[in-house]
Amino acid sequence: MDTATLLIAHNVLTQRSIRGTARLLGKPVSSIAAAIDRLETQISVPLVQRAGTGIILTLEAERLSASIGKLADHVQEAMSVGSRPRSDTSLTLNALSRFVQVTEAGSIRRAAKQLGLGQPQLARQIAHVEALLGCRLLNRHVGGATMTEAGKRLVRSARAIEAIWNELAFEAAGRSRRSAATIRLGSIIPMGHNSFVATLLASLVSTWMDNKPRRPLLVASTTTEGLITGLKSGAYDAVFLNSVSVPTDFDGFLVAKSPLSLVGQSSAIGSAQGRDDLAKVVMSSPIALPSPKSGLRQIINRLLAEILTEDEVRALQVIEVDSMPVILNLVLHHGAVSVLPSESVTSIGGDLSQISLPPEYDLPYWLVCGRSDSSHQTARAVLDVLEELGYGDNP
């Protein structure tokens, strides 16, 4: 890490703008963005999120802004000890730390020995710091070295910088260790707290915490498309999908199959019971369907193609909503019908009736991962817990 990066980051957090900081400091936008990237990497925390042509500070950036501001203040004090303008100078924190060590050891030779460096190498580094700042920091003599007034000022600032930076680095090391140990499991969005998916995930997380306390499991829910994208990018180690088949380029392990039902208010379903009555129900009521990209929609499309003619399919009153809670609301309160997991309907209650679909329409749930050995090891760890809970059909 270097002093210029810290000053740039402070300005970005203060200005809340990369472009504004570039104008203020007279530097290219790419240089400002690169400085933010360097600091984010060093402290293992995202500080900004791109939003259109601007940025939004993360919550962590808001929390750390005071510490970064103090760092910037001490950096400016350090850069002002000499005659060279601050905008023309940049020192690494490593160089400042070595200067402090020289002053504490009382000589470059003793400090070099403590650091495991050659004396000429350390002497050149100290001379480089003096040249950048434009002032003499040490008075060298036969017995060692003593600080000049500028050197004393620099030591005070360097120690303050080191203390704050070490605190940030300590937090970063903890985050890095947790991040490296954490398994990131993506999941489809549960229909509700009593749904099959919510029940499975809650049981998985609870048992995982007991069995593997040193290896955190992070579960995040999003759309099927988002899960596949995240798996490809490495944002997820494995994902929990409900789909007819496993996406290309990945391996899948069948976890469960969920029976499906055509669901609607009792007034919409009436006395309909078997497969022969399905066509009558869907033709006489609006049908609420999830996104065409979802696994559930794939099964619904196959069902409709098998019980209706092409003209009847085109005549359906389709309400397409990519949100299961909204679909449930349409069924409960607006006279729509839909195809939903049977166990979810049972837990909802209300004036609902359902027609169970044959087993060939059951919705598969897969644990999907990459094809590398490490991906399979991660999936195996999750599957072991699921099998302990009674899920999974894999050897």
What's the confidence (pLDDT) of residue 272?
67
Separation CA 74–CA 132 (nearest Å): 17
What's the confidence (pLDDT) of residue 176?
57
Specify the length of the chain in residues. 395
Distances (CA, A) of 95 to 100, 151, 243, 340, 353: 9, 13, 56, 64, 74
Q: What is the mean pLDDT of each run of 10 residues along the chain (395 residues)?
A: 91 90 89 90 83 81 88 90 70 89 87 86 89 88 85 91 84 60 84 83 90 83 85 88 85 91 85 76 91 86 91 92 88 91 74 86 91 88 89 62
* Domain ranges within the chain, ordered by starting residue: 1-181, 182-257+364-388, 260-361
DSSP class of 292: T
What's the confidence (pLDDT) of residue 119?
85
Separation CA 282–CA 54 (nearest Å): 48
Domain at 182-257+364-388: CATH code: 3.40.190.10
Separation CA 112–CA 235 (nearest Å): 43
CATH architecture of the domain 260-361 equals: 3-Layer(aba) Sandwich (3.40)
Buried b (16+ CB within 10 A) or exposed e, 197-219: bbbbbebbeeebeeeeeeeebeb
Task: Indicate if 260-361 has the same CATH topology as 182-257+364-388.
Answer: yes
Element (H, E) at 150: helix 149-181
98: which residues sit within 8 A by CB, 6+ positions away? 111, 115, 122, 125, 126
What's the confidence (pLDDT) of residue 395?
42
Considering the four listed CATH numbers 3.40.50.2300, 1.10.10.10, 3.30.2450.30, 1.20.120.160, the one that applies to the domain covering 1-181 is 1.10.10.10
DSSP structure string for 329-355: HHHHHS--BEEEEHHHHHHH-SSEEEE
pTM of the predicted protein model: 0.59
3-state secondary structure of 30: helix
